[in-house]
Amino acid sequence: QLVESGGGLVQTGGSLRLSCAASGSTFDDYAIGWFRQAPGKEREGVACFSSSDFSTDYRDSVEGRITISINNARNTIYLQMNDLKPEATAGYYCAASGKYGLRRTRNDYADWGQGTQVTVSS
């Protein structure tokens, strides 16, 4: 079970750190992704992480402003978001996949959290 937290209301230019906790387990041997979905839009990938080699990948539009990382216990994934813009307003979801390597598309993921809302005011 994946549990997200850390969303909220922030002004343009502000920062938020989202967390995704693996309840009762770790993220060893999993690929992890963060996705977002704005009202009326499709869910899109924001960042992904591979626990096999700690590699990461980011959506072009957010690269340089977002960092995905894992804690030492390997049971929580973070999404640090800086210099937030109103277009980042969306529900943010973490997902886990048992497939090897970086997974960039939502069809690769079987397990999803309930989401956490991020609202960026202008």
Residue 50 to residue 54: CA distance in whole angstroms: 5
pLDDT at position 68 is 97
Please answer whether residues 68 and 49 qualify as being in contact, where contact means their C-beta atoms are separated by less than 8 angstroms: yes
CB 97 within 8 A of CB 22: no
Question: What's the pLDDT score for residue 75?
Answer: 95
Tell me, what's the pLDDT at 63? 77
pLDDT of residue 69: 96
Q: Identify the burial level of 104 via C-beta atoms within 10 angstroms of its C-beta, where 0-12 means exposed, 13-18 middle and 19 or more buried.
A: middle
pLDDT tens digits in sequence order for the chain, 122 residues long:
999 999 999 999 999 999 999 988 999 989 999 999 999 999 999 999 999 999 999 998 887 899 999 999 999 999 999 999 999 999 999 999 999 899 999 999 999 999 999 999 99
Partners of 118 in the beta sheet? 8, 90
- Which among 90, 83, 86 has a CA at the least distance from the CA of 66? 83
* pLDDT score, position 60: 86
